[in-house]
Amino acid sequence: MNSAIADVEISAARESPLSAVNWGPIIAGAFAASTLTVILMLVGSGLGLTMVSPWTGASASATTFAVSAAAWLVVVQWLSAGLGGYLTGRLRTKWVGIHDNEVVFRDTAHGFLAWALATLLVAGVFGSALSAAVGAGVQAASNIAAGATAGATSAATSGAGGAPDSNSLAYFADALFRPADTGTVAPAGQNDAGATAQATRILVASAARGEVSPDDKAYLAKLVASRTGLSEADAAKRVDTVLTGMEDAKNKAKAAADTARKASAAFALVGALSMIVGAFIASVAAVLGGKQRDEDEALFVRD
């Protein structure tokens, strides 16, 4: 009985009253990692702006831009997490009377906590400023991509399933009523607003349904013929041409939206992967930093 009590007292005496977590080095490493992340993301934003241009053919391809952005995310996590984890390991106090395996585990945990805190700092405190800076490059790329299909997107808002605005189809309505002799301007009153409004409403309703009924197509042909001087056959051909252009615009808008969706999905997946890499690098760097700190201190004591 006395022996058991003595064992309990000895075990209690060996238990340290201090926590195994040194928050000071963790916070210091997290601040260093988050600051370096902001710097590197600003550098990446600047490099991204050099890859886009408003001039046709002067910008990098979408694939090149996406691969470069993904690679840079991994580099940012690698460098910032490595710095934060290493500082956390070097700055923590030495643990005395602890098995080497436990020291490795604690250093790993400290590096991971430094990375986690840095991630929260970047996402919370620096999120708005960082997104504004990085968003400049993203917006530039988006504008260039949108420019290639600006007419298509504006004219095919029904491609996303929403109700199209009548103004988005004004270009196609105007194309229907161009005079037969393109070298002259339509006489006053010939291309009146009433005919344009009727054609626009037909195009809006047809875009919402996804097809043009035979009656609407025939009426459009007669309306175009009466306003442009074209024969009914030529007017019918013009109607078919305009409707084909609307369909092509809709398909281009859908293709652009699908490309943006795939790019967003890939960016999210690569971002998650880069964060996992960052957590691993921070943990390993903390172990290396802590090991070097203990070795340097032991060497100093021997000297």
Instruction: Evaluate whether 222 touches 195 at the Cβ level (below 8 Å).
Output: no
Predicted confidence (pLDDT) per residue in 29-54, tens digit: 999 999 999 899 888 888 877 777 76
Share of the chain above pLDDT 90, in %: 19
Domain with 177 in it: 152-252
pLDDT at 170: 64
Instruction: Evaluate whether 268 touches 255 at the Cβ level (below 8 Å).
Output: no
Q: How far apart are CA 280 and CA 227, in angstroms?
A: 71
Q: Which long-range contacts (CB under 8 A, 24 or more apart) does 91-100 make?
A: 91/24, 91/25, 91/28, 91/29, 91/293, 92/22, 92/25, 92/290, 92/293, 93/22, 94/293, 94/294, 94/297, 95/20, 97/14
- 77 within some domain: yes
- 7 within some domain: no
Predicted confidence (pLDDT) per residue in 222-257, tens digit: 888 887 778 888 888 888 888 888 888 888 888 888
pLDDT(166) > 90: no
Which one-letter amino acid corresponds to residue 80? S
Of the residues 233, 252, 271, the one at which a domain ends: 252
Same domain, 76 and 191: no
- 230 within some domain: yes
Helix then strand then coil, % of the chain, to nearest 5: 80, 0, 20
Higher pLDDT, 54 or 76: 76
Same domain, 147 and 292: yes
Residues in the chain: 303
- 43 within some domain: yes
Same domain, 106 and 139: yes
Same domain, 30 and 136: yes
Average pLDDT over residues 204-226: 79
Same domain, 130 and 279: yes
pLDDT(115) > 50: yes
Neighbours of 90 (CB within 10 A): 19
pLDDT at 174: 62
What sign has the CA pseudo-torsion 267, 269, 275, 281?
negative
Same domain, 31 and 125: yes
Of the residues 229, 252, 275, the one at which a domain ends: 252
pLDDT(95) > 60: yes
